[in-house]
Amino acid sequence: MRTAYVQATDQQSDFVQSLHKALLRSGAQPPDRKESASAVVNILKDEVTRRVLSVSAFNRPNEYEVTYTVRFAVNEADKELLPAQEISATRSYSFDERLLLAKEHEEEILREAMAHDLAEIVMRQLSSLPQS
CATH of the domain at 79: 3.30.160.150
Type of residue at 26: S
Position 106 in a domain: yes
pLDDT in tens, 107-130: 899 999 999 999 999 999 998 887
Confidence of residue 101 (pLDDT cuts 50, 70, 90): low
At position 84, the amino acid (one-letter code) is A
Per the CB < 8 A criterion, the answer to whether 93 and 103 are in contact is yes
Q: How many domains does the chain have?
A: 1
What is the domain extent for residue 24? 4-127
- Give the pLDDT mean for 96-112: 80
d(CA 54, CA 17): 32
| Spatial distance between the Cα atoms of 32 and 15, rounded to a whole number of angstroms | 18
Task: Convert the pLDDT of each residue in 37-86 to its tens digit.
Answer: 889 999 999 999 999 999 888 888 889 999 999 999 999 988 999 999 99
Specify if 123 maps to a domain: yes
Residue 132, domain member (yes or no): no
SS3 content of the chain, % helix, strand, coil (to 5): 35, 40, 25
